[in-house]
Amino acid sequence: MKKVIVDVRTPGEFMGGNVAGSINIPLNEIPGRIDEIKQIGQPIVLCCASGARSAQATMYLRNLGIECENGGSWLAVNFAFQNN
Q: Per residue in 14-29, pLDDT tens?
A: 999 999 999 999 999 9
Domains and CATH numbers, the chain: 4-82 (3.40.250.10)
pLDDT of residue 1: 61
Q: Is the distance from CB of 52 to CB of 74 less than 8 angstroms?
A: no
Q: How confident is the model at residue 84 (pLDDT cuts 50, 70, 90)?
A: low
Residue-by-residue DSSP string for 34-75: HHHHHHS-SSEEEEESSSHHHHHHHHHHHHTT--EEEEEEHH
pTM of the model: 0.94
pLDDT (tens digit, 9 = 90+) per residue, 51-79? 999 999 999 999 999 999 999 999 999 99
